[in-house]
């Protein structure tokens, strides 16, 4: 193995059995040595240091992370502490090799990866087998077509624990087989499928089941996976996989890759001991055997992963972008794996107590939220509201659970975001409950601005709006909706009836400023004229579709857009604050391709020569500014001559970062006109 140019000074957090294996192989890696050991128990740290690294300093986790001599940290504590310690290490400027799983769930894993990408330090999840030459050889065989087109992967990793006690059987410590060793067959299936498809494997289906023990953790689990077959799909595209895991059933660990021309077998895919090897079988041909025993460069798996981190650190020191992580197991691989493990546990029926939608989930770091300095957010005012609104508004209808919502909302708040858009209609109140619980957990009810909506079809009546408002307040754990919108219009109801009921709720203190969503500009004017004539408060806010792409149609029945020239003039003349939804045209500026017509709604609503020209100009300007085209599209919305507060609906922290990148783009009038095709 070629050693890295600059060996690292390592600290170990969590002096357990797996850390001993790591420590025993580290000297062979060329990646440095252990200079410190951290533990919550001083005597354990000292005993570990005396055994594997005589002379190493010992202390608490915090003391070790504060040590300026420590450059890299190996996190080998229990699952539930991985995220907090990894983030603490990254914030302390250390590089991190974190044992799997990176976090107990995808939401928390997003927070850890985001901490790495914003810190400039290196993060690597420690699936050590992925860095072994056996794994590289396997993937090379798949890519070369050694067994034809790959059809199926079978992978297992399970064992029978000596006693049904301890951390493996403790739900509060994220026990069970799926999280402890289930990630091995999942990462293997994803890696083989990706090599076979020639691109990152996208999971399209998961069916699973298993046995849940008396302590509430999975003791045996199996899942059938299907990976994306690409644009053409069909028989030539997809890869299926079967994965198995458990902590109460000892199945021999094995991997088999089945293709149209043969199969590949690994009898020792994970521990990778002295008998490690790959067997390739093709009809009518003798078996091909590849071995990777002692003497093979990089044959010690823990040494290999340490060397991989050291190479990334060296690349970062040379000024290279290492935000993707290692090619063998990237940070995107970590995120995708954690999402699969979430789905697998859900299929089995395991949800840990600390993940429940009513749980007091803390920040992933364990520290209070802190707004970035300098604050990247911009703010605006809606008359009568009494609080500034962040110019970017977080839509809350894309959150599968509270852990995911917490990570995303935390990132939005730390980016200066204060305003959230929700509706009783979203998940029939479930998404409002997630937001309300997060606000309670963070103590932010008085600081945040929540845009609540109700009166959706088929209950788009004054009576329907009323009961939905009352349920929304209960769901959100709030007494008042400071900004409330009717979610739809019902032309069969006279505008005065809607104005009256909104005034009644405002007078009762249940709502503050109010307006409408998906109303025509004519109906908006009619309602405000009625309000003025009858001494009532009128509508102050509109929330329709608006963005750089002109809407040819709307995604859902009852929706309205204001992307046409007449509507833009109306907004400019009246200066009505607009909270536009689909401000980035449902991904049009990120992924639309005239040749790709798989997304029927995207095609129906946005596919036109004019919009593709807008996209081309946005991409051209984005290249000049060094930002994504989506940031230019959002900057276009922010640069309008009327107040705008675009609603974004990111499904991940990475998508949130891409969305908020538009805050740093200031477009002048000429650029806005060119993007809108008004410069000819």
* Catalytic positions, written as ranges: 100
Only one residue has tokens 């005993």, namely 47
Cα gap 459→465, rounded to integer Å = 7
Q: Answer whether 570's CB lies under 8 Å from 564's CB.
A: no
CA distance 503 to 536: 7
3-state SS assignment for residue 214? coil
Compute how many other C-beta atoms are within 10 angstroms of the C-beta atom of residue 680: 5
CA-CA-CA-CA torsion sign (100, 105, 108, 109): positive
DSSP, res 614: H
Give the up-direction half-sphere exposure of residue 558: CA atoms within 13 A in the CB hemisphere: 14
Kindly give the residue spans of alpha helices, DSSP state H, lying in 75-152. Answer: 79-91, 106-119, 133-144
Alpha helix segments (H runs only) across 508-607: 521-533, 565-574, 588-591, 600-606
Distance CA 602, CA 596 (A): 10
Count H helices, E strands: the chain? 22, 23
Query: Alpha-carbon distance 128 to 100, whole Å?
Result: 9
In this structure, the chain runs to a length of 680
Terminal alpha carbon distance of the chain = 61
Which residues 6+ apart lie within 8 Å of 560 measured at CB? 489, 518, 519, 520, 544, 545, 554
Host H or E run for residue 9:
strand 8-13
Beta bridge partners of 401: none
> In 3D, which of 577, 544, 584 has the Cα closest to residue 562?
544
Compute CA distances 316 → 128, 252, 305, 397, 572, whole Å. 21, 40, 17, 37, 48
CA distances to 222, 382, 517, 543, 580 from 577, in Å: 52, 7, 12, 8, 9
Containing H/E element for 364? Answer: none
């Amino acid at each position: 193995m070629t050693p890295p140019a600059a060996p690292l000074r390592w600290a170990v957090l969590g002096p357990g059995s797996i850390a001993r294996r790591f420590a025993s192989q580290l000297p062979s890696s060329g990646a440095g040595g252990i200079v410190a050991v951290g533990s919550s128990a001083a005597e354990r740290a000292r005993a570990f240091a005396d055994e594997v690294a005589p002379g190493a300093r010992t202390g608490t986790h915090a003391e070790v992370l504060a040590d300026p001599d420590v450059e890299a940290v190996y996190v080998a504590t229990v699952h539930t502490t991985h995220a907090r310690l990894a983030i603490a290490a990254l914030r302390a400027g250390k590089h991190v090799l974190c044992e799997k799983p990176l976090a107990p769930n995808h939401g928390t894993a997003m927070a850890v990866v985001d901490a790495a990408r914003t810190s400039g330090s290196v993060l690597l999840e420690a699936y050590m087998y992925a860095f072994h030459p056996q794994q590289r050889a396997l993937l090379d065989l798949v890519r070369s077509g050694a067994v034809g087109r790959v059809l199926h992967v079978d992978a297992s990793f399970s064992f029978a624990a000596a006693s049904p006690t301890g951390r493996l059987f403790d739900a509060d410590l994220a026990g069970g087989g799926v999280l402890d060793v289930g990630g091995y067959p999942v990462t293997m299936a994803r890696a083989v499928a990706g090599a076979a498809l020639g691109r990152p494997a996208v999971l399209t289906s998961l069916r699973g089941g298993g046995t849940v023990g008396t302590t509430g953790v999975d003791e045996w689990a199996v899942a059938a996976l299907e990976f994306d077959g690409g644009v053409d799909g069909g028989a030539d595209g997809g890869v299926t996989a079967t994965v198995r895991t458990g902590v109460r059933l000892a199945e021999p660990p094995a991997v088999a890759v089945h293709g149209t021309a043969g199969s590949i077998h690994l009898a020792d895919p994970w521990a990778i001991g002295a008998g490690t090897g790959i067997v390739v079988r093709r009809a009518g041909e003798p078996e091909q055997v590849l071995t990777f025993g002692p003497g093979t460069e990089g044959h010690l798996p823990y040494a290999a992963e340490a060397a991989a981190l050291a190479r990334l650190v060296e690349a970062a020191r040379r000024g290279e972008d290492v935000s993707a992580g290692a090619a063998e197991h990237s940070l995107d691989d970590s995120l995708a794996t954690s999402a699969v493990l979430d789905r697998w546990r859900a299929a089995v029926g395991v949800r840990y107590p600390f993940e429940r939608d009513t749980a007091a989930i803390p920040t992933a770091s364990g520290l209070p939220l802190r707004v970035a300095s300098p604050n990247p957010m911009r703010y605006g005012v809606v008359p009568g509201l009494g609080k500034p609104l962040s110019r970017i508004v977080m839509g809350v209808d894309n959150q599968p659970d509270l852990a995911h919502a917490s990570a995303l909302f935390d990132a939005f708040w730390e980016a200066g975001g204060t305003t959230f858009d929700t509706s009783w209609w979203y998940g029939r109140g479930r998404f409002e409950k997630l937001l309300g619980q997060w606000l309670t957990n963070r103590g932010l009810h008085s600081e945040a601005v929540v845009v609540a909506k109700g009166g959706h079809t088929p209950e788009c009546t004054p009576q329907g709006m009323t009961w939905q408002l009352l349920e929304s307040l209960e769901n959100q754990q709030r007494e008042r909706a400071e900004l409330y919108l009717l979610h739809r219009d019902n032309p069969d109801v006279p505008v005065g009836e809607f104005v009256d009921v909104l005034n009644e709720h405002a007078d009762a203190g249940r709502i503050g400023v109010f307006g409408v969503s998906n109303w025509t500009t004519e109906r908006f004017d009619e309602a405000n004229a009625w309000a003025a004539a009858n001494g009532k408060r009128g509508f102050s806010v509109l929330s329709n579709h608006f963005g750089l792409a002109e809407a040819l149609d709307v995604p859902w029945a009852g929706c309205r857009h204001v992307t046409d020239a007449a509507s833009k003039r109306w907004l400019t003349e009246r200066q009505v604050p607009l909270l536009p939804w689909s401000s980035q045209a449902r991904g049009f500026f990120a992924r639309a391709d005239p040749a790709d017509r798989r997304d029927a709604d995207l095609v129906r609503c946005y596919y036109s020569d004019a919009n593709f020209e807008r996209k081309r100009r946005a991409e051209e300007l984005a290249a000049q500014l060094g930002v994504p085209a989506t940031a230019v599209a959002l900057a276009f919305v922010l640069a309008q001559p009327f107040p705008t507060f675009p609603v974004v609906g990111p499904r991940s922290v990475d998508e949130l970062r891409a969305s908020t990148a538009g805050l740093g783009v200031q477009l002048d009038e000429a650029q806005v006109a060119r993007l809108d095709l008004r410069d000819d």
